[in-house]
């Protein structure tokens, strides 16, 4: 095992240093290198090549559980613990999540009851939507991102970005969701009590579409945990790995992440390690009272 560790780390550290730290003779290490590889070692080398391919495709965002699911999707049958061990041995680690602190918000003009009550699962698309705002630092100042997420598939169905945290920002994200998705009877929209969501204009738009409103309890971020989890994932896998010079640079990066990676291909543990779009594709259905078929 120590020889394998030296083999994996010799590109970063001198062999002499590694041998001294691990208390092994260099002659023993070089003799081990000259031995022909056994069947298991050859298989591990072949497997690590595929692991690196999956790891690089995710841009370092995936840990061993999602890498394991990627390998299975490509027809490779391998144990999850073996994947984790090989990733540790070769220094392949997913990006880490930072701690989060809630922030204060202005009082809303309209307050809705918490109808959702942390029931974050849905039986079909367009049954429950959740919305929220986060901020992204750039050298030009904050860039604010508003999203609307379908709780059935965790897919981002509406989003908007702006330099100002206004009601127009949240309305734009909502309009994008309304443009791409049908409003079915009983659709529930949940948000926090931020002034942008409690604004008369925003609530009027929900009512005009026949959408029921729901809001988190004051100061309770867990009541909107799915969107908070998405923001944490976005910041862990993208924002915290970048330093944006301009808001436009951040916009382009976030667009590519949401539409090019997260919705289309990121494996979600709550969806059986399928992507949001792939999970939705299993549920084509007829709209109630309509003659057309909506397939996500």
Provide the pairing of β-strand 212-215 with 285-286: unpaired
pLDDT number for residue 214: 96
Q: Three-state SS across 177-234?
A: HHHHCCCCCCCEEEECCCHHHHCHHHHHHHHHCCCEEEECCCCCHHHHHHHHHHHHHH
Spell out the domains of the chain, with CATH numbers in brackets: 2-89 (no CATH), 128-294 (3.30.420.10)
The SS3 call for residue 30 is helix
pLDDT number for residue 290: 37
Residue 36 has pLDDT above 80, yes or no: no
Only one residue has tokens 């924002």, namely 239
The SS3 call for residue 79 is coil
Backbone torsions φ then ψ of 268, nearest 5 degrees: -105, 125
Q: Return the top range by mean pLDDT from 50-59, 90-99, 151-160.
A: 151-160
Mean pLDDT, range 48-75, rounded to an integer: 82
Share of the chain above pLDDT 70, in %: 90
Residue 119 has pLDDT above 50, yes or no: yes
């Amino acid at each position: 095992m120590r020889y394998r560790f030296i083999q994996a780390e010799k590109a970063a550290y001198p062999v002499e240093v590694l041998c001294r730290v691990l208390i092994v003779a260099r002659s023993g290490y070089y003799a081990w290198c000259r031995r022909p590889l056994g069947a298991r070692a050859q298989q591990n080398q072949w497997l690590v090549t595929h692991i690196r391919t999956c790891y690089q495709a995710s841009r370092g965002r995936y840990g061993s559980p999602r890498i394991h699911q990627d390998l299975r999707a490509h027809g490779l049958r391998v144990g999850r613990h073996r994947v984790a061990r090989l990733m540790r041995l070769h220094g392949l680690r997913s990006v880490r999540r930072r701690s989060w602190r809630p922030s204060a918000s202005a009082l809303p003009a309209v307050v809705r009851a918490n109808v959702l009550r942390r029931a974050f699962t849905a039986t079909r698309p367009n049954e429950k939507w959740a919305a929220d705002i986060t901020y992204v630092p750039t050298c030009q100042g904050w860039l604010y991102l508003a999203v609307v997420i379908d709780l059935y598939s965790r897919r981002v169905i509406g989003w908007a970005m702006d330099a100002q945290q206004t009601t127009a920002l949240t309305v734009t994200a909502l309009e994008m969701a309304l443009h791409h998705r049908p409003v079915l009877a009983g659709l529930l929209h949940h948000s926090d009590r931020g002034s942008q969501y409690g604004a008369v204009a925003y609530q009027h738009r929900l009512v005009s579409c026949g959408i029921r409103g729901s809001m988190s309890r004051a100061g309770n971020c867990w009541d909107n945990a799915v969107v908070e989890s998405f923001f944490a994932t976005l910041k862990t896998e993208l924002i915290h790995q970048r330093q944006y010079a301009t808001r436009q640079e951040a916009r382009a990066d976030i667009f590519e992440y949401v539409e090019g990676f997260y919705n289309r291909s990121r494996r979600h543990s709550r969806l059986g390690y399928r992507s949001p779009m792939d999970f939705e594709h299993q549920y084509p259905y007829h709209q109630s009272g309509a003659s057309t078929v909506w397939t996500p």
